[in-house]
Amino acid sequence: MSNLWKVKADNFINEKESIMRTGNMFQISNGYMGYRGTLDEFGSEQLVGITLAGIFDQVGDAWREPINAPNGAYTKLVVDGISVSALKTEIISHTQQISLSNALFERDTLFAVNNKQVQVKSKRFLSAETPNLMVVEYSFSTNVDAEISVNTGIDYNVWDLNGPHLVDIEANKSNNMLTVIAKTHELGKKLAVAELIDYAEGDEQHLISNNLNLRLISIKAKAGNTYTFYKYVAVVKQGDPFKGSKKNAAIELVSVALQKGFSSNFEAHNAQWAKKWEKCDVKIEGDDEAQLALRYSIFQLLMVAPVKGSANSIPARALSGQVYKGAIFWDTEMFMFPFFVYTYPEVAIELLKYRINTLDGARRKAASEGIGYRGAFYAWESQETGDDACTYFNIGDPHTGRDLRTHFRDKQIHISGDVAVAMWEYFKLTTDDSLLRNGGAEVILECARFYYSYAYYKKDKDRYELLDVIGPDEYHERVNNNIFTNKIASETFRVALDAVNYLKENFASDLDALLAKIEIANEIPLFQEAFEKLYLPQPDKETGVIEQFDAYYKLEDATVEDVKSRVIHPNEYLGAGQGVAVQTQVIKQADAIMMLNLFKEHYSHEVKKANWEFYEPRTEHGSSLSACAYALVAADIGKSEWAYKYFLKTAKLDLEAKYKVYVGTIFMGGSHPAANGGAWMATIFGFAGVKAYSNKVSINPKLYDKWKSLSFNLSYKGDNFAIKITPDETTVQSLGSNIASHKFVLGEKEFVCDPGRKIETKY
């Protein structure tokens, strides 16, 4: 792979599923909106999607999901009266690519049209400088003279999974400006798209037809000449920080962009991307396959990082479409948040502010689920208010067409602990207590309150238990004492007590105000008791294996191959009530292994090894979250080849676009930012052996044999470090902007790294 900053396809496959997967692979995003990797002339049937962050809509009883905006980048050529499209026109050659350095999408297609050759090239980017802005450069040429009509404008035939979400649509043209305004179906939230174009020649007419607001630009094209125009498109939605109407705001944005021109907008965009990569790039020497896969994974995370000040989070399918309802899952805190808190803390804080802002939704869920609980039970599928978008019947049975009852919504209680632990981790690794004092501690205490209200005290054993839950392994529902769930709940009680102690020592008045606000002072001693007495399944004294949940060993010890051989329909779900995996020990994804990674310092090498070897052959990896956990623990216990295998599996998931498209009858196509985060974790926490504590950073490398070196940056307590690991040594460079000294443990040697200093250890 000669170019490790580009992903490229050299052909076009005119099949619906291929177009869908390519659209995922070549998507671009800027945190405000995502644009799927589709061609300029494509429409809703080819799954063109401009998915917007933080705005949702529901139609009837269908699933509530994010909004896709009208496509202001739509462009189609008509050559001598013949419409040109990759779907119908003969293609001589075609390439499309994205540049990882700056999220630039490019296509180059040579068409054959009535014995003429027509070449179409385009570039587009979603501005990293101005998040509401999209910029397109489009050019064409012919090998002989031709009559060309450029049909370009705003396509408001919007692709929706459960729509239509836009109503009261108005399309217009005024003073060379095309606009489309609309409202959302459910809440009447306003949306506007504006488009301006810059071109040198041609006669323009205007047409509104078939939900297309178009310019028809006629050009007598001369052979060999290249004709280029630039499009500036703005999307503005309700809630964006603009005064006045959404339409006027969009018009102003594109007017300013047109005045600046393509080059100036592109330079500003590139400058922002250069800053991102300066903090976040990871360099692997000696393995181009791993380098490209990892860089693509990091690129996906950087693209979808929420806009500063938005307090948005990252959906489970990023901004690649409406799959999973655009909802925020535990994926964000457990698989994406670590990347940002170690490299880009200003984004990590946005993710946590989202949880603070949706705390009331978590409280409402706790009060309404089951017998009614106290505290904060965070939504399994969280949207803008924090209320749960997850339905009780949410996986279709392909045999009957009926929806299956699952308990993802009401029994996956580990989500609250995932949030609480991430909230404390941010404080621990940054020492920034502003978040803790402005809602973070409240979130942590309310999550601890929820677990205490949910826990069952078993008097004869003098212990608390967590009954009727689902762990990360979703093939086994309504189990008791799942090890991951119990461990994360225990940790929640601990961080709640730590947060109280920190505030008591440093901000006593803030603590008093918080305890009074949520009337929780009398419950703090109960959290201490629960922390001491919550049951945590222990490793078996002979085997070292931790039983994933009560009575797990009583299930059929079938192999993954055995279970899959029982499947009748290729899309059937293996879990829920009667799935073929339910009565077996085959699990969907890393569960006990995920726990052992999260709390690796709590368990011995022998215990981690025993559990990895027990659970690995029993794991079906039916989730994109699974492979990285096995990579992480494999690296930790010295199974280097296995670690590398699972690292590549997670890092190449979106790059190769090999994943399930349907679960049951539910469409699941889209990108996988949790797997992208998992690839980074497997590299930095696994092969580099990084572990940051409140008082030190430990680096204990398990470098893969093929790698000559591994280089990356790390943020810790407001300072930044450049780290390089080779088979012979590890070096840590304190960067020039640093102001404090920090303790590092490299292998078994302890150092103090002062500002500007470089430390190293040889092996």
* pLDDT surpassing 90 at residue 375: yes
Name, in order, each residue with C-beta under 8 angstroms of 505's C-beta and a sequence gap of 6 or more: none
Strand partners, 534: 464
Give me 482's structure tokens: 């799942």
Give me 369's structure tokens: 């689920």
Compute the average pLDDT of residues 343-355.
Answer: 97
**Cβ atoms of residues 484 and 594 within 8 Å:** yes
The share of the chain scoring above pLDDT 90, in percent, equals 94
Reduced 3-state DSSP string for 610-649: HHHHHHHHHECCCCCCHHHHHHHHHHHCCCHHHHHHHHHH
pLDDT-derived band at 512 (thresholds 50, 70, 90) equals very high
Task: Please provide the size of the chain in residues.
Answer: 763
**Cβ atoms of residues 710 and 687 within 8 Å:** yes
**Cβ atoms of residues 194 and 253 within 8 Å:** yes
pLDDT-derived band at 665 (thresholds 50, 70, 90) equals low
First to last CA, the chain: 31
Distance, in Å, from the CA atom of 200 to the CA atom of 205, rounded to the nearest integer, reads: 15
Beta strands at 33-35 and 50-57: parallel, antiparallel or unpaired:
antiparallel
Least-confidence region, from 292-306, 563-577, 583-597: 563-577
Residue 705 backbone dihedrals phi, psi, to 5 degrees: -55, -35
Compute the average pLDDT of residues 104-127.
Answer: 97
Q: Specify the pLDDT at position 571.
A: 83
Give me 286's structure tokens: 């000696």
Cis peptide upstream of residue 164 (ω within 30 degrees of 0): yes
More confident residue, 370 or 57: 57
**Cβ atoms of residues 19 and 46 within 8 Å:** yes
Nearest to 699 by CA among 333, 341, 707, 711: 711
pLDDT-derived band at 662 (thresholds 50, 70, 90) equals low
Percent helix / strand / coil, the chain, rounded to 5: 35, 30, 35
Angle between helices 626-636 and 605-615 (to 10 degrees): 140
Compute the average pLDDT of residues 495-505.
Answer: 98
- The active-site residue, picked from 381, 474, 547, 572, is 474
Distance, in Å, from the CA atom of 558 to the CA atom of 364, rounded to the nearest integer, reads: 41
- Buried/exposed code over 288-320 (b: 16+ C-beta within 10 A; e: otherwise): eebbbbbbbbbbbbbbbbbbeebbbbbbbbbbb
Measured CA to CA in angstroms, residue 305 lies from 276, 337, 345, 347 at distances of 10, 10, 11, 7
Distance, in Å, from the CA atom of 43 to the CA atom of 517, rounded to the nearest integer, reads: 52
Q: Specify the pLDDT at position 663.
A: 62
Beta strands at 166-174 and 177-184: parallel, antiparallel or unpaired:
antiparallel
* pLDDT surpassing 90 at residue 593: yes
Q: Specify the pLDDT at position 84.
A: 98
Q: pLDDT averaged over the chain? A: 96
Give me 608's structure tokens: 């981690």
43: helix, strand or coil: coil
Distance, in Å, from the CA atom of 395 to the CA atom of 222, rounded to the nearest integer, reads: 56
Compute the average pLDDT of residues 258-274.
Answer: 98
Compute the average pLDDT of residues 521-549.
Answer: 98
**Cβ atoms of residues 727 and 703 within 8 Å:** yes
- The fold for domain 6-253 equals Beta-galactosidase; Chain A, domain 5 (2.70.98)
Compute the average pLDDT of residues 446-475.
Answer: 98
Q: Give the residue ranges of DSSP H helices in 455-551.
A: 483-506, 508-518, 524-533
Give me 635's structure tokens: 């690296």
Nearest to 24 by CA among 10, 38, 12: 38
Name, in order, each residue with C-beta under 8 angstroms of 682's C-beta and a sequence gap of 6 or more: 628, 631, 632, 635, 643, 646, 647, 650, 651
Q: What's the pTM? A: 0.96
- Identify residue 20 by its one-letter amino acid code: M
C-alpha 606: how far from chain center: 33
**Cβ atoms of residues 328 and 315 within 8 Å:** yes
CB atoms within 10 A of CB 47: 21
**Cβ atoms of residues 682 and 646 within 8 Å:** yes
Q: How many CA atoms lie within 13 A of 415 on its CB side?
A: 27
Compute the average pLDDT of residues 218-236.
Answer: 97
**Cβ atoms of residues 295 and 101 within 8 Å:** no
pLDDT-derived band at 1 (thresholds 50, 70, 90) equals very low
DSSP string of 110-128? EEEETTEEEEEEEEEEE-S
Per the annotation, the verdict on 474 as an active-site residue is yes
DSSP secondary structure letter of residue 554: G
Angle between helices 345-357 and 441-454 (to 10 degrees): 50
Could you state, in order of their start, the residue ranges of all structural domains in the chain?
A: 6-253, 283-687, 709-762
Least-confidence region, from 77-91, 164-178, 203-217, 391-405: 391-405
Measured CA to CA in angstroms, residue 392 lies from 161, 657, 681 at distances of 19, 29, 32
Element (H or E) spanning 207, and its range?
A: strand 203-209
- Signed CA dihedral, 366, 368, 370, 372: sign only: positive
720: helix, strand or coil: strand
Distance, in Å, from the CA atom of 533 to the CA atom of 505, rounded to the nearest integer, reads: 26
Strand partners, 268: none
**Cβ atoms of residues 534 and 493 within 8 Å:** yes
CB atoms within 10 A of CB 219: 20
More confident residue, 210 or 399: 210
Element (H or E) spanning 82, and its range?
A: strand 82-84
- The fold for domain 283-687 equals Glycosyltransferase (1.50.10)
